[in-house]
Every structure is written in C-alpha cells, then in structure tokens.
Structure 1
C-alpha cells in the first residue's frame, strides 16, 4: 500500500527517531546525545514549523522515542492500538491545513508555535494511528538480521521486507547464506 507523502515522511521520521536509541544501535551507542544531533535529525526530516531547537527538547524527544519503540514492538495489533491511544491521549493535537516548502495542501496535527516534541508526538502519533486504522500494523517491523535491532516501516507492495536496509543487513545476510551454501 503506498502511503501519502505526509504519512510516509512521518513514518520515516518515527522509525529514524527510534533507531537513534542505544537499544536499536548495532554498537549500543546513543545517536541523539547533543543538540547538534537533534538539529541534524530535524534537518534530515525537514521538520517544519520549528524555528530553533532548545536544550529541553533533547530530553523530551529522547523520551518520546521509547514511547514509539513500544508501539513498533507491540505483541499484536490490539496492544499497538492501546499504546497509540495512550500516546495520543497525552498529545495536544491541533489539526490545520497548510502549504509550505513547495508541498501541496496537507494537514498538520500540531498548532502554530508548537515545540519540537509536540510536533513529533502529534504528527508521528497520527501517522501511526492511520497505519493501524488501515489494518497495516504488520508493516511496523524490526530487522531480522541477528545482530540488528533497528525498526522500519515495510512499504513494499507484498509486505515482504525483512531487513532495515537491503544494502547493509540484507546484503550481509544474503552473502552469509551464499557462503554457507557453498561450504556444503
């Protein structure tokens, strides 16, 4: 199922946010330690409506990623729904139509002047809610490579993606399988 631009961007942002945590890092390091790290994340995902990043944003965004991680790793769709509902109940959402940066009219779920964490909590939380409403919970995945714990959203047509990145984990696992076959 192809996702709309806003939803695809929000789902990519939430997966990337989760993957900055030590739990999902291959070497156990935290990739969201400094304000520079957070500013790089904001630039990478072109987070709109955020004039500047503040020191308080860093701790708040870091705690938000554990909330999103619990949704991605829910044991089933019912648990994911409960976790998204709990998250959304704590989120201030102000839906409004907007056009910016060359994108056509679309909906933002955060109000003008919202903090970075309010922006991410609302936009990413609503994207996850839409995914669940569409019955697409199984698209929230964790990489199946044995030494990788990164999360991703499977956007493949047949829901067959199993690795966070086909060029790294996927290629590494395929080469290992090929070498194992050659040994026998």
Structure 2
C-alpha cells in the first residue's frame, strides 16, 4: 500500500532495472503538483529554493530513520523529538465523515505551505510507527531500486516494493544466473 511518507521519500529515484539513471524528483514541478494532488494537500508549486532544501533535508532524515528501523533499530527519544518538531508546524482540525457507510475521524490540514505538507508527511510516518511496527519498514531487495515500503503482509515476508516490477526482474535475473552457471559446467 502506498503511503504519504513513502511516496515522499521515494522521490529520490533510481533506475530499478539497473541503469545508471537517477534523478531527484522532489525539485521537479510535475512531481510536486502530482504529489500535492494525489494526497489532497495544498502548497505553492514550484516550491522555493529554501523549501526545496528543507524538503530534501527532511526526506534524507526520514530515509535514514526508515533504514535504521528496517534494520531493527528502535526509535530513539532524539528521533521522536525530531519528528515532533516537524509535526508541530502543521495546522488543522479533526473532522467526522462517513466513508462506505463507516464513520471515520480524519485530520484536515488547513495550512497551505510546504512546511505544513512536511508536517503531514512526518505525521504519516509517525502514524505508521504508532499503528504498525518499525521492523515492517523495508528497503526493496532489488539493490538497483532502493525504494522504501511498509510490509503490511500477514507473513511479513515482502521483499520487493512491487512484485510485478522488481519481483519479476529479480526472478529473471536469478533464472539467467542459474542457466549461465549450468552452461559453464
């Protein structure tokens, strides 16, 4: 399942097929507009240079924290204080709504600057930790990909960000490596 914080962190794109192409999508106007629209957030696009620098810094910190948690580290008080410092910049209110005949209380952001968007990203990450487990945060086993995702499978064995893309690619690579090794014998 795609999450706000993983979509944000994965804006640092690497060619999952093994090419050397990579790009920082965070600074691209098209990515910013798509991100804001997809998650129903508001901020001026394009972001200013200072906002882009802040976004990059928060993305890198979240990536580092997610990587540490995926390797079994525990959330430290310092990490918690950092997340709280980002989240406290958000503004909004709680709203009761009915979705598919079920009542739901949801947070509605009233801020329309990138700092408010970043507060939402940090809050989504914190919610993931509070409602799930940090150990379920994974880095795709395709070393070319590097995407971060949350393993919400019952068996806790998800290895790839996407079974149809990275999963199939890695199966093909293993098959070809076995065939090549068998031909050498």
* TM-score bucket of the superposed structures, by smaller chain: 0.7 to 0.9
C-alpha RMSD of the superposition: 3.0
Q: Specify which of 11, 19, 27 is matched with residue 10 of structure 2.
A: 19
Other-structure match for 1:69: 63
Under a length normalisation based on structure 1, what TM-score does the superposition of the two structures give?
A: 0.74
- Asked if the contact 1:77–1:132 (Cα under 8 Å) also holds between the matched residues in 2, the reply is no
- What 5-or-longer segments of structure 1 have no aligned partner? 1-7
Residue 59 to residue 145, structure 1, CA distance change in 2 (3 Å): same
Q: Specify which of 114, 119, 131 is matched with residue 116 of structure 1.
A: 114
SS at match of 1:176: helix
Superposed structure 1 runs of 4+ greater than 3 Å apart? 51-54, 57-60, 79-82, 99-105
Alignment partners' CA distance in 1, 2:54 and 2:94 = 26
Residue 59 to residue 106, structure 1, CA distance change in 2 (3 Å): farther
Residue 117 to residue 158, structure 1, CA distance change in 2 (3 Å): farther
- Asked if the contact 1:97–1:105 (Cα under 8 Å) also holds between the matched residues in 2, the reply is no
After TM superposition, list the pairs within 5 Å mapping 1:93-104 onto structure 2.
93-94=90-91, 96-98=93-95
Alignment partners' CA distance in 2, 1:180 and 1:125 = 41
Q: What displacement does 1:37 show?
A: 2.3
Q: Specify which of 78, 83, 87 is matched with residue 79 of structure 2.
A: 83
- Asked if the contact 2:97–2:106 (Cα under 8 Å) also holds between the matched residues in 1, the reply is no
Residue 67 to residue 101, structure 1, CA distance change in 2 (3 Å): farther
- What 5-or-longer segments of structure 2 have no aligned partner? 16-20
Under a length normalisation based on structure 2, what TM-score does the superposition of the two structures give?
A: 0.73
After TM superposition, list the pairs within 5 Å mapping 1:118-157 onto structure 2.
118-121=116-119, 123-134=120-131, 136-157=133-154
SS at match of 1:97: strand
Residue 42 to residue 99, structure 1, CA distance change in 2 (3 Å): farther
- Asked if the contact 1:64–1:117 (Cα under 8 Å) also holds between the matched residues in 2, the reply is no
Point out the structure with the larger strand share. 2
Size of the alignment, in residue pairs? Answer: 169
Larger CA Rg, structure 1 vs 2: 2
Alignment partners' CA distance in 1, 2:77 and 2:153 = 22
